[in-house]
Amino acid sequence: MTDKLVSQLQSHVPNIDLKLISQGAEALVFETTTHPYSSSPSLRNASQFIIKYRPPKPYRHPKIDAQITKQRTSGEAKFMYKLSKLAIPCPSLISCDFSHGIIWMEHLGKNLPNGNISSLKNWLWYLEKSSDTEARCSGDDVQQLCFEVGKLIGRLHLNDMIHGDLTSSNIILEEQDSVWAPALIDFGLSSFSGLPEDKAVDLYVLERAVDSTHSDFAQSYNAWILQGYEAAHELKRFKKFGKKKHLETIKRLEEVRLRGRKRSMLG
């Protein structure tokens, strides 16, 4: 089945090297060394690029499927474009084919010493498996990075933008001046909303993801993330409304947590 989907993509981007790196229900993600327009691109990581492909869904009517694919692909690209205009770190757009569900973008992240790409999840896992786990996972570097992750999400929400799938896998780390800096990826479920409920759910999804994948240190990680989130709302340019928005979102987050605990108890 996967070979068939790869062949479908190759029919739209012929003679392009493709390496499948991720496959979800909605889309496939490929790595390529080919830039669609230039042999010497000037992006930060110009040797590799990402192609995200939404293949046709055979269970949907072809016309409806084509419309959904076009809407979701263009919506994701518009979200990424607005992020770049706001200087919120995310992959740079290179090329889009909305009708065929293709987004060609910059490849963020580099490999860690264990060979995994430098997502927040993989970096924390790498530290948690080190010989001096307690010291490294409780250190200033981790605290500062979690704080910066919180600030990044705060900036996203202050612009009424919702990620929709905030997990530690969808936060990629870029090395800047020998320090890790977070960037966001995967906006297939993104949306625009000023509602505290939507922002609280975004935070809750990340909180649960950290709880499940980094249980030993999750309490500290999540606390540091929320500290950074609050700090973003205290920036001078958001002074008029930042504190109010933060209080509204955190109050709603407490309600979302309560609903989550009730669902867990009821099974």
Question: Which active-site residues does the annotation give?
Answer: 165
What H or E segment, with its residue span, contains residue 121? helix 120-128
Strands (E), the chain: 19-23, 28-32, 49-53, 93-97, 102-106, 161-162, 171-176, 179-184, 191-192
Alpha carbons 221 and 205: distance in angstroms, whole number: 14
What H or E segment, with its residue span, contains residue 230? helix 218-233
**HSE (side-chain half, CA atoms, 13 Å) at 90:** 25
Strands (E), 118-178: 161-162, 171-176
